[in-house]
Chains A and B, each alone.
Chain A
């Protein structure tokens, strides 16, 4: 069985660190063989969100139990909801702590199911406040660009004529859809902006095929974030994925509008 322990150092002779997520190391130990893996935690000094990364590593390593001094409520809920038992108030040398755990010195405690039931039974005030804060932050992140886009739509409506747009969107279904897909690939940001832009284009007589392709590629293809995708997932994967998404957007857009026309007559 694998257990994760918040640690002050990178070996079994180190002491248990008090706080999960903010500990300098996270040790994943196999209790059968005593083989272990030490993960350095660069977020040890972070003020917020540090626990999430440790949770993700614990899940990824297939850990069944976490031993630590203290575990914050967010990390605790996430560990428990992923079937990991959390034992707190643990201190001392890691090697001795593991022996104590194997000997059953930490008592029966709550099982994962009992801990899970405890965390999912109700939404307490703290959970609600945390969710509210996250939502306000996410909403505030959307607003500046959305305001800019809405102001741009005003300029677009006032200054761009239907004739000018007709020079790009000729009325050819495939070509217009391809143009829409290309615009969506170049532009990026929250998808809400693509809906506002799409609605403005529809008002200017642009076909729904093109608008649908724009909405699709806005999220699925992102030239702006392509360097970040290449850096993380590799050149081959990123280019292939983007190219396939661009190509797929055309039949999906055409099919969407055809089905819509069939249903609505």
Chain B
């Protein structure tokens, strides 16, 4: 075991930050070109974007509040502790919890997951953790605003159940040497 594995995500993160700015700038350039070629349609597009923006403002404010609460009470080390609880029922349920409360881009988690597997955490809890990242408590306000709470509850429950099925299948098929 070595701590050297933690250096890679920093490089990936800085590349990702650059990519994050390129995308909206590229879309703005497309808008610029369209305003020259078809100004009326481009204006319709801009107004439509403005409408989407207004609809998302309040849910976004709630997203920030939930994010703050999670940052106050959830620490990365607690998540690692939950994940290292083994492949029994308790361990799987803790992996579900770890996946749900984990935040930030996925590439930050890969080196830690690798470490945990080398320590014998097993493929199943790792697969369960990765699947449950689809459940994002801090984004629920936006999801509910768009799709309604009944849909969100059903999808969340089914996602958690599917994560266990997924983990179980991974546990069987990836049992032999990984990589």
Q: Which residues of A contact B (CB under 8 A)?
A: 26, 39-43, 52-57, 59-60, 74, 77-79, 81-82, 123, 127-128, 130-132, 134-135, 138-139, 141, 144-148, 150-155, 157-159, 190-192, 195-196, 198-200, 208, 212, 215-216, 218-220, 222, 225, 228-229, 231-237, 240-241, 244-245, 248, 252, 255-256, 259-260, 263-264
Once A150-B49, A256-B154 are accepted as A-B contacts, the answer to whether A225 and B106 lie under 8 Å apart by CB is yes
Once A52-B77, A199-B147, A233-B178 are accepted as A-B contacts, the answer to whether A135 and B30 lie under 8 Å apart by CB is no
Instruction: Contact check, B45 vs A159: say whether CB atoms are below 8 A apart.
Output: yes
Instruction: Contact check, B53 vs A248: say whether CB atoms are below 8 A apart.
Output: no
Instruction: Contact check, A233 vs B24: say whether CB atoms are below 8 A apart.
Output: no
| A192, B112: Cα distance in complex, Å | 25
Interface flags for B1-34 (1: CB within 8 Å of A; 0: not) read 1111011100010000100110110111011001
Tell me the smallest distance from the CB of B170 to a CB of chain A, in Å: 6
Instruction: Contact check, B20 vs A78: say whether CB atoms are below 8 A apart.
Output: no
Instruction: Contact check, B158 vs A256: say whether CB atoms are below 8 A apart.
Output: yes
- Which residue of chain A lies nearest to B79 when distances are taken between CB atoms in the complex? A56
- Which residue of chain B lies nearest to A228 when distances are taken between CB atoms in the complex? B107
| A116, B119: Cα distance in complex, Å | 26
Q: Which of B59-78 contact A (CB under 8 A)?
A: 63-64, 67-68, 71-72, 75-78
Give the A-B pair count, Cβ closer than 8 A.
230
Once A151-B49, A153-B52, A233-B113 are accepted as A-B contacts, the answer to whether A40 and B2 lie under 8 Å apart by CB is yes
Instruction: Contact check, B158 vs A157: say whether CB atoms are below 8 A apart.
Output: no
Q: Which of B104-141 contact A (CB under 8 A)?
A: 104-107, 110-117, 119, 123, 126-127, 130-131, 133-134, 136, 139
- What does DSSP make chain B's interface, helix, strand, loop or mixed? helix
| A231, B4: Cα distance in complex, Å | 15
- Which residue of chain A lies nearest to B115 when distances are taken between CB atoms in the complex? A60
Tell me the smallest distance from the CB of A7 to a CB of chain B, in Å: 13
**A42 contact set on B, CB distance < 8 A:** 3-4, 6-7
Selected from A130, A147, A248, the residue in CB contact (under 8 A) with B165 is A248
Q: Tell me if B90 counts as interface (CB < 8 A to partner A).
A: no
Once A60-B84, A82-B78 are accepted as A-B contacts, the answer to whether A191 and B71 lie under 8 Å apart by CB is no
Once A237-B179, A240-B173 are accepted as A-B contacts, the answer to whether A159 and B41 lie under 8 Å apart by CB is yes
Once A56-B112, A234-B179, A252-B158 are accepted as A-B contacts, the answer to whether A222 and B106 lie under 8 Å apart by CB is yes
Instruction: Contact check, B166 vs A192: say whether CB atoms are below 8 A apart.
Output: no
